[in-house]
Amino acid sequence: MNETSLALQGNDLSMANVDQMSWGIQRQTRREIETVAKATIVANVHEQARAQLCQTALINAGVLSALEEHLIGVAPLGASRYQAIADAYVIGASKKLMQW
User: In this predicted model, what pLDDT tens digit does every residue of 18-61 receive, in sequence order?
Assistant: 778 888 888 898 898 889 999 999 999 999 999 999 999 999 99
CB-based contact 90:63 (threshold 8 Å): no
CB-based contact 61:90 (threshold 8 Å): yes
Domain that holds residue 79: 3-99
The answer to which of 9-13, 74-78, 86-90 has the lowest mean pLDDT is 9-13
Stronger pLDDT, 100 or 62, i.e. the higher one: 62
CB-based contact 55:24 (threshold 8 Å): no
Alpha-carbon distance values, 55 to 16, 29, 50, 58 (Å): 46, 39, 9, 5
How many structural domains is the chain composed of?
1
- The DSSP symbol for 78 reads G
